[in-house]
Amino acid sequence: MKVQSSAPDLESVQSSIPRHVAIIMDGNNRWARQRGLRGVEGHKQGAKTVRDTVENCARAGVEVLTVYAFSSENWRRPQDEVNALMNLFLEALADEVPDLHKNGIRLVFIGDLSAFSDELRDKMQQAMKQTVGNKQMVFAVAVNYGGQWDIANAAQQLARQVKSGGLEPEAISPELLQQKVALAEFPPPDLCIRTGGEHRISNFLLWQLAYAELYFTDVYWPDFDDAALHEAFADYQRRQRRFGRTSEQVEASQQ
């Protein structure tokens, strides 16, 4: 991985580069089937695409990249595929974390990590601890994650505060709940990309994506290269983000 400052051709639109990009990486199995390969081969190629995307996002000036690696529903997949994914996680941690750390990338895992093996969970914790001080970019990986679980988990934290007498129910607000959901310390996603042709967010960052721009592409995740990423950025730059205001109000605020 070679991470440098923002590419020269992006400097003029640097303010239009999304600070936080979230990606639903879909299409690994279909990519493999089209080539007569086992599904795990699609996931292996997809892992290479993750590496390239981290590099490309860091070079473009993205501050936070969050990828949906393994949802809480993915446990329902065939056991051999789940086992292969767990092995890929272990291999990726061993192979990629030193490189991420060298390039100043902070690695964060979000989701219910308690479902993973002790070995995998320990390696995740070690990777987060090793890279916690890095400033180039945050790379957040959602594993055993679901948006509904995330919101329920945040509500449980507030409920415990109410039960202990430290919080009045009337004091619970969207701002307070925001402090308890995953990724609370980072800016909310500006752009959510889904590859593979499906047009849904599949229980991903339900709270955090409230005002994100959604971008769907037919490109399968293993084929999602730098050109595809920048097409998503170009589409994002053509949009006007109003956050409840009128177009006239937005335009007036930019003058």
Would you say residue 10 has pLDDT above 50? Answer: no
Mark 116-155 as b/e (b = at least 16 C-beta within 10 Å).
Answer: beeebeebbeebeeebeebebbbbbbbbbbbbebbbeebe
Range with the lowest mean pLDDT among 7-11, 23-27, 104-108, 136-140? 7-11
Give the separation between CA 31 and CA 28, rounded to whole angstroms: 5
Q: In the annotation, is 29 catalytic?
A: no
Q: What is the reported pLDDT for 144? A: 94
Catalytic residue among 26, 28, 29, 56: 26
Residue 39: predicted pLDDT: 86
Range from 136-150, 159-173, 237-251 carrying the lowest mean pLDDT: 237-251
- What's the rounded mean pLDDT across residues 95-122? 94
The answer to whether 74 is a known catalytic residue is yes
> pLDDT tens-digit profile of 20-66?
999 999 999 999 999 999 988 999 999 999 999 999 999 999 999 99
Question: CA 149: distance to chain centroid?
Answer: 16
Q: Which of 9, 28, 29, 74 is catalytic?
A: 74
pTM of the model: 0.90
Domain ranges of the chain: 15-253
Place domain 15-253 in its CATH homologous superfamily: Decaprenyl diphosphate synthase-like (3.40.1180.10)
User: How many helices and strands, by DSSP H and E, does the chain display?
Assistant: 8, 6
Matching residue, tokens 């930019």: 254
